[in-house]
Chain A
Amino acid sequence: MSAVTQSGLHRDTKGSKLVRYSLIGISLLFVFLMLILPLITVITEAFKQGFAVYSKAVTDDYTIKAILLTLEASFFAVAINTVFGLCAAWSLTKFKFKGKKILATLIDLPVTVSPIIAGLIFLLTFGRQSPIFPLLQDWDIKIVFAVPGIVLATIFVTFPFISRELIPVLESQGTDEEEAAALMGAKGFTIFRRITFPHIKWAFLYGVVLCAARAMGEFGAVSVISGHLRGKTNTLPLHVEILFNEFQYVPAFAVASILVMLAILILVARSVIEHKGRKK
């Protein structure tokens, strides 16, 4: 009985060609309008006045500096969030302690709070109005409107990306294998290297890729704390905005195309990792 109705249902939902093709059509149209078209626009606009103008814009001193700064901020964000993500995911899944729920919730804060607020938080914490500002000045540390501020803001907005990828994998593994290794005399780090890491490797790399992608594209938080000092505190997205506001459309799109290429690179890396991870 139930088998009959089930297969009937199946035919109803899946069978109708009209429904199928219109659903696929709507999806494709959406993807084209919202994603492909803008991408094509970016590329065509970038090359509108020929390759020479494009390459000049891309190899411009300020652009190079912006690229380097973006890479620097992304590097620190990935490195620091790797350490933090591993610690947080490990302690949340393997230990029992007070405040565990609170920690788990707080980790997600950066994705729920607007990036502008993130930027403001750092501005208020380390800026002129802050009580610790004199202290920072005494030690000659500049955070706001300087590279450290940008790095901090980037770390903040990409905070949960790695730990969030690791937690479900670590949770599903249980502790048996680690206990077995410990019983045979293996020490903490050996257990991590030989038993735990191979297990979380792909989820970890995936988290790194997501973290890097988000770090490179971050605009809001970085915009508030950077001060837009060209050649000093301008990341790629900020640089694009400045060029655009100065009506330098071709250079703006040319620089934007670099971001697009980075994004495509990351997408490729992502699918390779996903593919390899699934095979294991």
Chain B
Amino acid sequence: MYVELKHINKHFGNFKASDDVTVGIEKGKLIGLLGPSGSGKTTILRMIAGLENPDSGEIIINGKVINNVPASKRGIGFVFQSYALFRYMTVFDNIAFGLKIAKKPANEIKERVHELLELVGLSGLEKRYPSELSGGQRQRVAFARALAPNPQLLLLDEPFAAIDAKVRQELRSWLKGMIQKLGVTSIFVTHDQDEAIEVADEIIITNRGRIEQVGTPYEVYSNPKTAFTASFFGQPSIFKDYSNFRRFDILENAENAIVRPEFVKVTKKNEVQKYKSSAEEGVVEEVDFRGYGIELRVRVNGVLLTARRSFDQPRIDVGEAVDVFIYRMFVTQGDTATLLENKSLRDPVVVI
């Protein structure tokens, strides 16, 4: 492991911002630190960078405990949520700052800054001030500035938060490509699940100062280990009692059932459906147009579920009685989540 956190605790007053955080990160990986607001993501990042000190626990980079190494000596690149560009310096001076502090010769600095400007696609803007740049351009300058001294580790705190949706999409793939090309180990913070899934090689999920789960985007999405992770992704419908859904095993001490839209198939009464016999009765309460298709809210056994249909399927109206088949659901017991499959998928069924 290139970066290791071991049993890190951190309090702000009485508030526990980090609770026994233990996690390792491999060299060269792009890691997404994902969690709801206030879950302690920034705190973890700031402790790695040396801007905060943990109350207890060890931070190890490249095999060395660095708890007592000051931030300035850790050689870590940091992109702030607000970018924190030096507003009284030009783009050139912003990027050159770290190199000047390191007392690099002037011609070397100039070469490196132009190389970086080229890399981030901002050649020709070196004389501008940050206030004369667009949000996306500022983000790129912040990125170039953090990379200038050739850090071994790059930390990015919500790098896309302040950018509008369309540009954000472009910047995501740009950043992912850039980091892959440079091979620098990177950790980026986000509270946007789509962003984490799309960009990260591996996702660390935080909640209330604790680490819930670590894994590839596919793992954490399709195989959540904790109740929190199971309910965090997708657009889950969460309800208490699932005993009315007869085609599922009943677990002891079950707390919540979690059903994601992709677990639900809604069909009209006259549509062909393989598992029609074990489908439940439902009534459509809401039909919403979305860019990707139609989103339905269907009441089944007193529970409101979200489901999706594509445009080429026959139209469904509000108030219509429909068949609802549920493939899977997560059931939580305390802190753990278990995936249950509809028994009809296993059992041979009679197709009518």
User: Can you report 21 A-B residue pairs in the complex whose CB atoms are below 8 A from each other?
Assistant: A176-B82, A176-B84, A177-B86, A179-B51, A179-B71, A179-B78, A179-B80, A179-B84, A180-B84, A183-B50, A183-B74, A183-B77, A184-B72, A184-B98, A184-B101, A185-B72, A185-B73, A194-B86, A195-B86, A195-B88, A199-B88
Beta-carbon contacts under 8 Å, A165-213 to B:
174, 176-177, 179-187, 190, 194-195, 198-199
Residues from chain A with a CB closer than 8 A to the CB of B73 are 185
Residues from chain B with a CB closer than 8 A to the CB of A177 are 84-87
Given the known inter-chain contacts A176-B80, A190-B101, please indicate yes or no for A182 contacting B86, CB distance below 8 A.
no
Is B72 in contact with A198, judged by CB distance below 8 angstroms? no
Question: How distant is A170 from chain B, measured CB to nearest CB, in Å?
Answer: 14
Q: In this complex, which of B82, B85, B86 has the most chain A Cβ atoms within 10 angstroms of its Cβ?
A: B86
Query: 14 new A-B pairs (CB below 8 Å) besides A183-B72, A195-B88?
Result: A174-B82, A179-B84, A180-B80, A181-B97, A182-B72, A183-B50, A183-B71, A184-B97, A185-B101, A190-B101, A194-B89, A194-B97, A195-B86, A199-B88
Q: Does B49 contact A (CB under 8 A)?
A: yes
Q: In this complex, which of A182, A185, A195 has the most chain B Cβ atoms within 10 angstroms of its Cβ?
A: A185
Question: How distant is B91 from chain A, measured CB to nearest CB, in Å?
Answer: 15
Given the known inter-chain contacts A194-B86, A198-B88, A199-B87, please indicate yes or no for A183 contacting B101, CB distance below 8 A.
no
Q: Taking CB as reference atom, which chain A residue is nearest B51? A: A179
Complex Cα gap A187–B149 (Å): 16
Q: Does B117 contact A (CB under 8 A)?
A: no
Residues from chain A with a CB closer than 8 A to the CB of B49 are 183
Q: Taking CB as reference atom, which chain A residue is nearest B131? A: A280
Q: Taking CB as reference atom, which chain A residue is nearest B75? A: A185
Complex Cα gap A179–B52 (Å): 11
The interface residues of chain A, by DSSP majority, are classed as helix
Is B84 in contact with A184, judged by CB distance below 8 angstroms? no
Residues from chain B with a CB closer than 8 A to the CB of A184 are 72, 97-98, 101, 149
Q: In this complex, which of A183, A185, A194 has the most chain B Cβ atoms within 10 angstroms of its Cβ?
A: A183
Chain A interface size, as a band, is: 10 to 19
Q: Does B272 contact A (CB under 8 A)?
A: no
Beta-carbon contacts under 8 Å, A138-189 to B:
174, 176-177, 179-187
Beta-carbon contacts under 8 Å, B24-57 to A:
49-51
Is B86 in contact with A183, judged by CB distance below 8 angstroms? no
- Using a CB–CB cutoff of 8 Å, the interface residues on chain B facing chain A are 49-51, 71-74, 76-78, 80, 82, 84-89, 97-98, 101-102, 145, 149
Residues from chain B with a CB closer than 8 A to the CB of A194 are 86, 89, 97
Is A183 in contact with B76, judged by CB distance below 8 angstroms? yes
Residues from chain A with a CB closer than 8 A to the CB of B102 are 185
Complex Cα gap A180–B88 (Å): 14
Count A-B contacts at CB 8 Å: 56
9 nearest interchain CB pairs? A176-B84, A184-B98, A198-B88, A180-B84, A185-B72, A185-B101, A177-B84, A186-B101, A183-B78
Is B72 in contact with A186, judged by CB distance below 8 angstroms? yes
Complex Cα gap A184–B50 (Å): 12
Tell which of B50, B74, B86, B149 touches A180, judged by Cβ atoms closer than 8 Å. B86
Residues from chain B with a CB closer than 8 A to the CB of A182 are 71-72
Complex Cα gap A18–B267 (Å): 74
Question: How distant is B147 from chain A, measured CB to nearest CB, in Å?
Answer: 11
Complex Cα gap A174–B84 (Å): 10
Complex Cα gap A74–B149 (Å): 46
Residues from chain A with a CB closer than 8 A to the CB of B87 are 177, 199
Residues from chain A with a CB closer than 8 A to the CB of B77 are 183
Question: How distant is A129 from chain B, measured CB to nearest CB, in Å?
Answer: 48
Residues from chain B with a CB closer than 8 A to the CB of A190 are 101
Complex Cα gap A180–B50 (Å): 11
Complex Cα gap A71–B261 (Å): 79
Residues from chain B with a CB closer than 8 A to the CB of A183 are 49-51, 71-72, 74, 76-78
Complex Cα gap A186–B86 (Å): 13
Complex Cα gap A176–B82 (Å): 8
Q: Taking CB as reference atom, which chain B residue is nearest A280? A: B88
Q: Taking CB as reference atom, which chain A residue is nearest B149? A: A184
Q: Taking CB as reference atom, which chain A residue is nearest B98? A: A184
Question: How distant is B335 from chain A, measured CB to nearest CB, in Å?
Answer: 35
Complex Cα gap A174–B82 (Å): 11
Q: Taking CB as reference atom, which chain A residue is nearest B79? A: A180
Complex Cα gap A180–B95 (Å): 12
Q: Taking CB as reference atom, which chain A residue is nearest B73? A: A185
Complex Cα gap A194–B93 (Å): 11
Residues from chain B with a CB closer than 8 A to the CB of A185 are 72-73, 98, 101-102, 149
Complex Cα gap A234–B84 (Å): 51
Residues from chain B with a CB closer than 8 A to the CB of A180 are 78, 80, 84, 86, 145
Q: Taking CB as reference atom, which chain A residue is nearest B76? A: A183
Question: How distant is A185 from chain B, measured CB to nearest CB, in Å?
Answer: 4
Q: Taking CB as reference atom, which chain A residue is nearest B74? A: A183
Q: Taking CB as reference atom, which chain B residue is nearest A179? A: B51
Complex Cα gap A190–B97 (Å): 11
Complex Cα gap A177–B71 (Å): 14
Question: How distant is A246 from chain B, measured CB to nearest CB, in Å?
Answer: 54
Complex Cα gap A177–B149 (Å): 17
Complex Cα gap A194–B96 (Å): 13
